């Protein structure tokens, strides 16, 4: 198979802010290096911090994830109950439509500051933007929050340090990291948040009602239908390659996890979905079964998702 397993290149700099570089197929030799990586053991020194142990377990789990030639992937995961987290890879990626969750969070924060509820029009746009990934609705709310300047100001309060809004109306070209997306998810699903409980509940509810055909991604790591997410997919006109991302909360083994998976350089949308779903399963497995390999089951990709050729 052309490419390599994700475990062939482990980023060491994945501590407090999960910094480093994206893991790409070019980081290893496609044949020998990938094979050798699969036989390698990840050792954890006695006395290692839980973060270091989880990072090592996630790296081990990611060895089962094939990264196609030219693609790159970055993953961050948090166990909501214990507060333990792990990361693999790094780097900066286009958000595509996962930024829509951030746009709504920024709008809700603005409304809180102004001491008001969302207007009827804003709620209509918000529902279409999150549940159906409607681009016109996103553009309307992007203007409302003040475009990139407004998003960046909200993100500073949310604690995102590596995310910058897209220029002018190009909200889908906002740049972000998996670490920042995990921070955003904590604002939505955690208790220590700039957002009120009502605001968090509203955004969580919309993320739990994603339209059929758009409900792939981190949901692949859930055991059942207990998930809330936002996906993004974008074919780049300059290369013809796809950005495919997924962020959200999933429940597995009686525990709740926040998962962010970012990828780019995918040959097709379907290939990107497969990569993102495999990485999400690997991330959760690092907590749920002690870092065992991700499920070998083939990711479910709906016909509508495979056939989609528009950005979202």
Per-residue pLDDT of the chain (312 residues; tens, 9 = 90+): 333 445 443 333 333 333 333 545 444 333 333 333 333 333 334 444 467 888 899 999 999 999 999 999 999 999 999 999 999 998 999 999 999 999 999 999 999 999 999 999 999 999 999 999 999 999 999 999 999 999 999 999 999 999 999 999 999 999 999 999 999 999 999 999 999 999 999 999 999 999 999 999 999 999 988 999 999 999 999 999 999 999 999 999 999 999 999 999 999 999 999 999 999 999 999 988 754 444 433 333 333 333 344 567
Give SS3 for 93. strand
- The pLDDT value recorded for residue 310 is 54
268 contacts: CB under 8 Å, gap ≥ 6: 242
Which among 172, 166, 151 is positioned nearest to 311, based on CA atoms?
Answer: 172
Domains of the chain, first to last = 77-307 (3.40.710.10)
β-strands 72-79, 23-24 pairing: antiparallel
pTM of the shown model: 0.81
The whole-angstrom separation of Cα 70 and Cα 145 is: 35
Query: Contacts for 78-82 with beta carbons within 8 Å, 24 or more apart?
Result: 78/182, 78/185, 78/186, 78/257, 78/258, 78/259, 79/255, 79/256, 79/257, 79/287, 80/189, 80/190, 80/249, 80/255, 80/256, 80/257, 80/258, 81/255, 81/256
Instruction: Pull the structure tokens for residue 181.
Output: 């997306």
Instruction: Pull the structure tokens for residue 94.
Output: 């286009």
- The pLDDT value recorded for residue 302 is 34
Task: Find tokens 């790159």 and name the residue.
Answer: 72
Determine the Cα angle at 284 with ends 279 and 285, to 5°. 95
Asked if residues 285 and 294 have their Cβ atoms less than 8 Å apart, the reply is yes
Which among 88, 81, 5 is positioned nearest to 51, based on CA atoms?
Answer: 88
- The pLDDT value recorded for residue 113 is 98
Instruction: Pull the structure tokens for residue 9.
Output: 């290149």
> What's the full length of the chain, in residues?
312
- The pLDDT value recorded for residue 176 is 98
Phi/psi of residue 151, each to 5°? -65, -45
Residue 262 belongs to what H/E stretch? strand 255-266
**Cα 216 versus chain centre, distance:** 12
Residue 193: exposure state from Cβ atoms within 10 A (0-12, 13-18, ≥19)? middle
């Amino acid at each position: 198979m052309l490419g390599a397993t994700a475990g062939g290149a482990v980023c060491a700099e994945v501590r407090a802010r999960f910094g480093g570089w994206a893991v790409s197929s070019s980081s290893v030799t496609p044949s020998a290096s990938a094979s050798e990586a699969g036989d390698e053991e990840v050792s954890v020194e006695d006395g290692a911090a839980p973060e270091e142990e989880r990072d090592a377990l996630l790296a081990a789990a990611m060895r089962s994830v094939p990264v196609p030639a030219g693609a790159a992937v970055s993953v961050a995961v948090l166990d909501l109950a214990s507060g333990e987290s792990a990361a693999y890879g790094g780097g900066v990626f286009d958000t595509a439509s996962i930024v829509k969750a951030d746009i709504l969070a920024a709008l809700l924060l603005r409304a809180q500051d102004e001491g008001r509820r969302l207007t009827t029009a804003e709620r209509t746009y918000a529902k279409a933007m999150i549940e159906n990934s409607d681009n016109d609705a996103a553009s309307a709310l992007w203007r409302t929050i003040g475009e990139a300047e407004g998003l960046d100001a909200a993100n500073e309060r949310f604690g995102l340090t590596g995310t910058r809004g897209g220029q002018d109306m190009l909200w889908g070209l906002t740049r972000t990291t998996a670490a920042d997306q995990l921070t955003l998810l904590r604002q939505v699903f955690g208790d220590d948040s700039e957002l009120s409980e009502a605001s968090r509940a509203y955004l969580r509810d919309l993320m739990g009602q994603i339209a059929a055909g758009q409900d792939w991604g981190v949901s692949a790591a859930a055991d059942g239908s207990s998930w809330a997410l936002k996906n993004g997919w974008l074919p780049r006109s300059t290369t013809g390659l796809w950005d495919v991302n997924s962020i959200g909360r999933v429940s597995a083994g009686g525990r709740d996890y926040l998962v962010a998976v970012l990828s780019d350089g995918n040959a097709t949308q379907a290939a990107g979905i497969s990569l993102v779903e495999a990485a999400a399963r690997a991330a959760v497995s690092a907590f749920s079964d002690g870092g065992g390999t991700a499920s070998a089951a083939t990711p479910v990709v709906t016909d509508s998702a495979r056939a989609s050729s528009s950005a979202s």
